[in-house]
Structure 1
């Protein structure tokens, strides 16, 4: 029974995030406020809520939910950094959209990346390369180049990751290394 309720709540959060107008924001926030207390330990629900709030541009409340999560997983970190991750939990795929990057908070994306207690997955590389490409400061250049050097060789076959890395290097003015990746 709880599984069905959780599924419906996640679906409603997702619908509110996609519509993101005044009425959807009102419904989403009300649903979040009325969510049963025992649900506050469920990463799937909290990540869906976090994603919705980021879509609304409500970064402060999304950060509060993120801090409240006892066991942060790669999905929660991804939702905060960018979103646009696809997860499959109990055979349910749920796209998580937005986050710091899409709210133009690139420094916070890098801050969160530096706190990440586990290795990045393929989408994570794209997120961080994009944040570095947008910032273009010394810190972003250092992180972006280091991440590219440490990236597993298997990811060099992923055109999306490579395109993000090439875009980053070109914005850094590093045409030679961008051409080498191409």
Structure 2
């Protein structure tokens, strides 16, 4: 019931009531991975603009399950910061064996890292040739020739 309420608050963009619920249940969350996952979803949901809070919650979890890790990677995508990218990379190194048996987790990590890289490229104020080259190489590896060529034509 708590998880559904948090999900509803996230979709409605009702930050105040979601935070109130978080404070009300804070004594129970350490033992319930479902509530933790719902809180991370609530704080990372794009309408709430609270992705940093979701990252803070993730850092409180001792042994996150795959659902929580997928939510973390989605949060990293939303933030698109160097810090978020570093967190996604750090988490991926600690759970590497799990990736090979869980395609959803692997897909989520790849999406997070690729979007973070693309956001970092787009936000770069001083793009030098090596930045273009690295980004174009990744687009080529991903078999995305149109993005590679578009980037080539953007170079000045």
Q: Fold match, TM over 0.5?
A: yes
Q: What residue is the counterpart of 2:58 in the other structure?
A: 113
Q: Is the Cα contact below 8 Å between 1:53 and 1:62 reproduced in 2?
A: yes
Aligned equivalent of 2:37, options 74, 78, 93: 78
d(CA) in 2 for partners of 1:54, 1:60:
10
Q: What residue is the counterpart of 2:101 in the other structure?
A: 157
Q: Which structure shows the bigger proportion of residues in helix conformation?
A: 2
Aligned equivalent of 1:62, options 15, 18, 41: 18
**3-state SS, counterpart of residue 7 of structure 2:** helix
Q: Is the Cα contact below 8 Å between 1:141 and 1:172 reproduced in 2?
A: yes
Instruction: Report deviation, 1:164.
Output: 1.1
Structure 2 unaligned blocks of 5 or more: 118-134, 143-156
Q: What residue is the counterpart of 2:116 in the other structure?
A: 172
Q: Is the Cα contact below 8 Å between 2:82 and 2:116 reproduced in 1?
A: no
Structure 1 unaligned blocks of 5 or more: 1-44, 83-98
Q: What residue is the counterpart of 2:128 in the other structure?
A: none
Instruction: Report deviation, 1:51.
Output: 2.7
**3-state SS, counterpart of residue 64 of structure 2:** coil
Determine if the alignment matches structure 1 residue 53 to structure 2 residue 9: yes
Aligned equivalent of 2:91, options 133, 137, 147: 147
TM-score normalised by the chain length of structure 1 = 0.56
Q: Is the Cα contact below 8 Å between 2:43 and 2:51 reproduced in 1?
A: yes
